[in-house]
Amino acid sequence: MDALKARAAKVVLLCLASVIAIAVLFLLFTPYRICMFLGLKEYLSLTQVLAIPLPPACSPSDQKPTLGTLALIGSQAAHYHLVLQSTAVCRMVTVQPLDESEFATAFFSLDVR
């Protein structure tokens, strides 16, 4: 009988220690940290709006983008989970680049590349 009481006391102490350990862990890892570990941090953080700088050779135009261009921009935005804020149409006063590396050099600053 004494062995049964001793075993029951050990089980109660183990349960109490487990509850205290869980409470301490919860206090150490605030709900924000728990969300961060679960991958929810991205959804709880503020959205950062970044505008892609226009190239220096850009002459702003009043034209609207074509439907094909808007469809391409929309599909890229959806693919990268972005929200399109606005569009700008430029007339380039310089010769257009021939390949992708020339395009990146001509149109994007070092911050974007």
Q: How many helices and strands (H and E) does the chain possess?
A: 5, 2
Selected residue with higher pLDDT from 79 and 33: 79
Q: Does the reported pTM lie above 0.75?
A: no
Alpha-carbon distance of 47 to 82, in angstroms, equals 10
User: 46-76 pLDDT, tens per residue?
Assistant: 666 677 777 777 888 888 888 998 999 899 8
User: 20-42 pLDDT, tens per residue?
Assistant: 888 777 666 666 666 666 665 56
